[in-house]
Amino acid sequence: FTGEEVAEHCTRDKRVWVTYKDGVYDVTDFLDMHPGGAQRLMLAAGGALDPFWAMYAQHNTDEVRQLLEDYRIGKLVGAAATQQVADPYANEPKRHPALVVRSQQPFNAETPVDVLGTSRLTPNELFYVRNHLPVPHVDPASWSVRVEGEGLKRVELSLKDLTTKFKKHTVTATLQCTGNRRDQFNDVKKVKGLEWGIGAIGTAEFSGARLSDVLAYAGLDDDTIDEIEHIQFEGLDSDISGTCYGASIPVSKAVSRHEDVILAYEMNGKELPHDHGFPVRIVAPGITGARCVKWLSRIIASKEESQSHWQQKDYKSFSPSVDWDNVDWSSAPAVQETNVQSAICEPRPGGVLEGPPDEIEVRGYAYSGGGHAIIRVDVSADDGETWTTAELEPVYDRRYRLASLSSTFHWNWAWTLWRTSVPLPESKDGHIKLICRAVDSDYNTQPESPAAIWNLRGVLNNAWHEVVLSVE
């Protein structure tokens, strides 16, 4: 087939054809099974998949290529068969070699476990990276964010405007990928997504202008807020079709000064790194990282939440019985606040205990979304028959006041680091398994098994974390 013949097949009634390299494929019957939705696959209808697969490199696996071959109907001939595809990732920023890379294109990487839990703040260069698209190169001198929407006057704010017209606000917040610890789900049943371990999480001191102040500057007041339910964000990162990354948060979160949502331009006292949204990103403490849009370009007050793919058909959780052939994305809300979480950072899986000793030092992190404080972490070495309560580092609220058992435990945006010494039982099979679980200030705790919370996207895994050690 020629490229012209393929181009004629761009609708369902004419059958949807696409090309990949020199192959021609009829994907009509696969449209509704596409994990990203039929609409996204239709972007390539009558044309080439190659530029989209160059953008979304998770397609470049033997499994996906074999799936595509099932729909092959012929060979592409003519000029289209030899057309070269530009590399959208040709100008990516440099990264620290210690990052644990989960994908190169787009770049996604975890903080090294050796760094996790050792310090309250995660160094910028070792902070986990979650990119959905190529990193845009932005000139800070010409950058601006447009603020508009229901009841607002349209305003354009430059970086200088943000730093001079609005009071600088600093918040220490933990950001966590919605898929953190996804790898444990694969032990139950294979899920689609990056195989994150425990390192898709980090804590930094972010500084910038309060979102509530920016919205007020654009005219949001008590009279207009009743017409608004969501604040949408759009970034400058976009795919080949021009579709940019987008997300939204509830307006109640956006307008409350206590919620500390900011347009951040500093991270740990320095300008934002390119991978983390330079020059300006949203930081919404207590909310999953997917809503903290990087390389910010637009803020939209709306009655509707963001209609982006990532808000509507990605970061949602379902029953373990729901799979790709029967998922109804509209039946579940988009993830906002994350659940209570903990992980063991030391010792590492596969470590060897000689002797073994009578006890072992264990340390890790715990975190709960929505501003809930961590009030307890339990650690066990005998499958939960007995538990040792860990020592928690001091917990501070948003006003940097030390939290106590008589406090309200509101607005605790950062993780809690913990450590303890755990008695070791006699090993019966040459192995000892350490497990941990956390409890937050609303007494939410972690489920024992990932099987009960398995979901097709592999998000929100907060089952007990375990580390298996060998005994010699």
Q: Is 94 exposed, middle or buried (0-12, 13-18, 19+ CB in 10 A)?
A: exposed
Q: Are strands 108-110 and 129-130 parallel, antiparallel or unpaired?
A: antiparallel
- Alpha carbon of residue 341 to chain centroid: 15
b/e map of 355-374 (b: 16 or more CB within 10 Å)?
ebeeebebbbbbbbbbbbbb
Whether 177 sits among the annotated catalytic residues: the reply is yes
Greatest pairwise CA separation for the chain in angstroms: 75
Q: Which of 40, 102, 130, 372 is catalytic?
A: 130
Q: Is 130 a catalytic residue?
A: yes
Which tokens sit at 192? 């689609």
Which residue, 172, 174, 194, is CA-closest to 185?
A: 194
Q: Which of 315, 365, 367, 396 is catalytic?
A: 315
In this structure, are strands 341-346 and 244-250 parallel, antiparallel, or unpaired?
Answer: unpaired
Tokens for 218? 């654009």
Residue 249: which of 177, 300, 319 has the closest Cα? 300
Q: H-helix or E-strand containing 423?
A: strand 416-423
Asked if 342 and 466 count as a contact pair (C-beta separation under 8 A), the reply is: no
Residue 305 has which token pair?
A: 């939440």
- Residue whose structure tokens are 């019966």: 428
Q: Which residues contact 331 (CB under 8 A, 6 or more apart)?
A: 318
Residue 266, phi then psi, degrees to nearest 5:
-135, 150
Phi-psi map region of 248: left, alpha, beta (phi>0 left; psi -120 to 50 alpha): beta
Q: Which of the residues 59, 65, 96, 419 is marked catalytic?
A: 59
Can 59 be counted among the known catalytic residues?
A: yes
Secondary-structure percent of the chain, ordered helix, strand, coil, rounded to 5: 20, 30, 50
Q: Which residue is it, tokens 């953008």?
A: 55
Strands (E) across 128-275 are located at: 129-130, 144-149, 155-158, 168-176, 201-210, 230-238, 244-250, 262-267, 270-271
From the list 10, 15, 34, 217, the catalytic residue is 34
Determine which helix (DSSP H) or strand (DSSP E) holds 271, and give its type and residue range.
Answer: strand 270-271
Which helix (H) or strand (E) covers residue 420, if one does? strand 416-423
10 included as an active-site residue: no
Rounded CA separation 307/310 (Å): 8
Catalytic residue chosen out of the listed positions 56, 120, 177, 182: 177
Pairing of strands 388-389, 374-380: antiparallel
Question: Could you tell me where the DSSP H helices lie in 87-202?
Answer: 159-165
The residues assigned a catalytic role are 34, 59, 130, 177, 315
